[in-house]
Amino acid sequence: MVNQIGRSTDASTADHRDDVIGSEVASFRYCNPGAQYPSARAARFGQTGYGIIGGGHKIARFPSPVNGAASNFDLLQRGYVGMRIGEAGVKWTGANGFGVPGYDPNATLTKDMVNDPAQAIPLLKAIANRESGKGNNLTEEQWRQAHQMFKAGSADAYLDALPPQPEIVLPADKGPSGAGLLKRAREHIGEPYANVLVPKDNPNWQGPWDCAEFVSWLVYQEAQKLYGCINDTAPPATADAYTGAWKTDLERFGRRVSVEEAAGTVGGIVLRYPPAAGKMGHIALCDGNGGTVEAKGRRYGVVADTVHGRVWDAGILIPGISYSGAASIKVSPPAVIYAVNSPNMDKTVVAQIQESLAEKGFDPGQVDGEFGPNTQAAVLAFQEAQGLVVDGAVGPETAEALSVSLVAGNTGTVGPVPGRGTSLASLPPEAQQLLTLILIMLSKEKLMTADPAKPGQGLEVLLPALLQSALSGKQLDLTQLLALLTTGKPLVAPTSNTVPASAVQGQPQSSHAPADFISLLVPVLYQQLTGKPWPGTEQKKADAPADPNTPVLSRPSVQLSAGALGIVTILQALGKIGLPFNLGAAANLPPDLSTTAGTLSTLIPLIVGAVGATGGWGALAGMAAQLFGGIISGFGKKP
């Protein structure tokens, strides 16, 4: 086995159940980026068995994500070439009916595309991102290896064609050596990552690791000395390693060398300084040939990777450890990196990074195209949440997770183009149902046409479009739908929210245009439920009828809420959606009926109807205040 990459296995592994328990998404746990089913064919690429995941589905298990990705490439070629990419994505994801984010659904998947790593790798990455919801856990080097294994035809063929891995020769005197560091490091490839304190004097520790703890543990096990710890005189079991302490020790008594010399030295160390006090940098051990062994991040664990295409600030050799290796290696710099004080950053790209961070819930401050401390802090938090290398810099892997392109003029490498709307078909099925229900209720409450003699005209356009998208999976731009709701104008032809296989050129975005359907839906809901316009906008009048004596049941929201509640009740009785408040457990209903969907489907009509009946949130709050006031007054009276 080379770096946890396994050999071909027997076809019988397709029938061998081998479940993996853990908190990671299934495709990560099973080293299967595309979450494919087990098969006799997959055994050619190292399948070791299968597990059962949500809904009773089977998922093939592999010893390394390299094996799993190679099998995914093989499946893509065997079962999907010749199909339109949209159809291929729906077939791959099964009942969910997802397409392939970032690709024209009408483009044809060709054999040439699958055989070309420059096209095949981004395509399978997009599929893997959709399957896991959390990107992928392969390094760029591992993706390259996976495609090479696919092209070789099997794991055995790939491994047999590799040049023999240089044997690690330990010094004759068996003293501390760089070769000893590398030998120890390779024994831990595949172990998990976590930000933990590792007892440096425990020779049997098998993870989890973080980057600094891993290298400090290696140094202590090899040379019986603490290095890179906040307190190098502390007991080895409690000494806390930190990349900032590695920088301090290098400045005090380390042996600084160039990054090129460290990369060409067996057991040399490369260090990226922390971006700020108290923040994390990164550190890796070199194999002397441009490769590394490192605890890379929670998404990857301990992996063999490369020194190339990444930012390093210094090379380190440890005093008291003997080293051997070839001449210095020319280290390829990153093609582009976005970080505080990086030169030649494009403000448009920085703004895209900031917008993507904000959309994902990480506040970069003002979206101004300046990569400053606030943006850096947001990047750090995002990287930590995603299990990436936490260094505050946006390189290829972080950019991919953010769905942005670091090339000026491109809107993104994978995923929908920012600001082009969100399709209903791209949402989970439960969200499609609930959003459709909300939009239907809003459409009845909102004037859909300027002609009062035809109050249902807009609804006739809206409902077929919604149902077609929800039931057939055809992508529909919700920005267009909500424009119909808010303006009463006819629905124009939906604009595609996908980009072709190659990145498209960016187009100027209107500074006042909402980025997605949530930005449009919230003001509409706010206006309908409160009776007040969204701050800074002009909206039409609220739900309350003009005549205060008009019966409550004549109000559109009350009528629609009663009808929607009746429909929900029928669907629950037929077993199409779950009962609210976990009542399905008491009724012994199938466990796969979602309690969440049932609860929200019941509560939404009730809440909308109550708000409409009382004339808005303000009136409802006033009634509640009077009720609570009466209760408090009652308690306050003396007998």
In a domain, 33, yes or no: yes
**CA gap 201, 360 in Å, rounded:** 41
Same domain, 114 and 182: no
With CA atoms as reference, report the closest residue to 238 among 202, 278, 194, 195.
202
In a domain, 334, yes or no: no
In a domain, 1, yes or no: no
- The predicted structure's pLDDT at residue 582: 66
Alpha-carbon distances of 449 from 228, 358, 412, 533, rounded to whole Å: 70, 35, 38, 20
SS3 306: strand
Same domain, 97 and 131: yes
DSSP states along 229-284: BS-TTS-TTT--B-HHHHHHHHHHH-EEE-HHHHHTBEEEEEEE--SSTT---EEE
Same domain, 374 and 511: no
Same domain, 379 and 515: no
Q: What single DSSP character describes residue 453?
A: T
Same domain, 33 and 79: yes
**CA gap 487, 401 in Å, rounded:** 36
Same domain, 501 and 594: no
CB 344 within 8 A of CB 329: no
DSSP states along 138-179: --HHHHHHHHHHHHHTSHHHHHHHSPPPPP----TT--SBHH
**CATH code for the domain in which residue 262 is found:** 3.90.1720.10
- The predicted structure's pLDDT at residue 332: 86
In a domain, 166, yes or no: no
In a domain, 170, yes or no: no
317 membership: H or E segment, kind and range: strand 314-317
Same domain, 509 and 422: yes
In a domain, 339, yes or no: no
pLDDT beneath 70, residues of the chain: 1-3, 95-98, 166-167, 169, 325-326, 408-557, 559-560, 574, 581-597, 611-639
In a domain, 576, yes or no: yes
CB 400 within 8 A of CB 393: no
**CA gap 276, 257 in Å, rounded:** 23
With CA atoms as reference, report the closest residue to 420 among 496, 489, 349, 354.
496
Our count of domains for the chain comes to 5
User: Cα torsion for 570, 460, 560, 581, to the nearest 10°?
Assistant: 40
Same domain, 133 and 196: no
Q: What single DSSP character describes residue 412?
A: -
**Domain end residue (candidates: 380, 402, 424):** 402
- The predicted structure's pLDDT at residue 96: 59
Tokens of 126: 């997009």
Query: Residue 251: is it exposed, middle or buried by C-beta count within 10 angstroms (0-12/13-18/19+)?
Result: exposed
In a domain, 214, yes or no: yes
With CA atoms as reference, report the closest residue to 13 among 44, 36, 34, 35.
44
Dihedral angle sign, alpha carbons of residues 470, 476, 479, 481:
negative
Maximum alpha-carbon separation in the chain: 100
- The predicted structure's pLDDT at residue 509: 35
**CA gap 481, 497 in Å, rounded:** 14
Q: Which residues contact 595 (CB under 8 A, 6 or more apart)?
A: 578, 579, 580, 581, 582, 584
CB neighbourhood size of 111 (10 A): 10
**Domain end residue (candidates: 537, 569, 585):** 537
Query: Residue 502: is it exposed, middle or buried by C-beta count within 10 angstroms (0-12/13-18/19+)?
Result: exposed
CB 73 within 8 A of CB 124: yes
Torsions phi, psi of 465, nearest 5?
-65, -45
Same domain, 522 and 602: no
CB 577 within 8 A of CB 571: yes
End-to-end alpha carbon distance in the chain: 84
The angle that helices 140-152 and 65-80 make with each other, rounded to 10 degrees, is 50
With CA atoms as reference, report the closest residue to 211 among 382, 390, 379, 22.
390
Same domain, 65 and 95: yes
Q: What single DSSP character describes residue 581?
A: G
* Domain encompassing residue 390: 348-402
pLDDT digits (tens, 9 = 90+) for 291-340: 999 999 888 899 999 999 888 999 999 999 999 866 788 988 887 889 88
Same domain, 549 and 490: no
Alpha-carbon distances of 556 from 55, 94, 236, 441, 550, rounded to whole Å: 39, 39, 72, 8, 12
SS3 304: strand
pLDDT digits (tens, 9 = 90+) for 85-99: 888 888 887 755 667
SS3 419: coil
**Domain end residue (candidates: 161, 195, 227):** 161
**CA gap 249, 215 in Å, rounded:** 13
Q: Any alpha helices (H) in 429-573, and if so which ranges? A: 429-445, 457-472, 478-487, 517-530, 556-573
Same domain, 366 and 467: no
CB 19 within 8 A of CB 54: no
Residue 457 gets the label, from left (phi > 0), alpha (psi -120 to 50) or beta, of alpha
CB 611 within 8 A of CB 624: no
**CA gap 635, 484 in Å, rounded:** 51
**CATH code for the domain in which residue 392 is found:** 1.10.101.10
- The predicted structure's pLDDT at residue 603: 76
SS3 25: coil
With CA atoms as reference, report the closest residue to 488 among 514, 534, 455.
455
Tokens of 143: 């993706």
CB neighbourhood size of 467 (10 A): 12
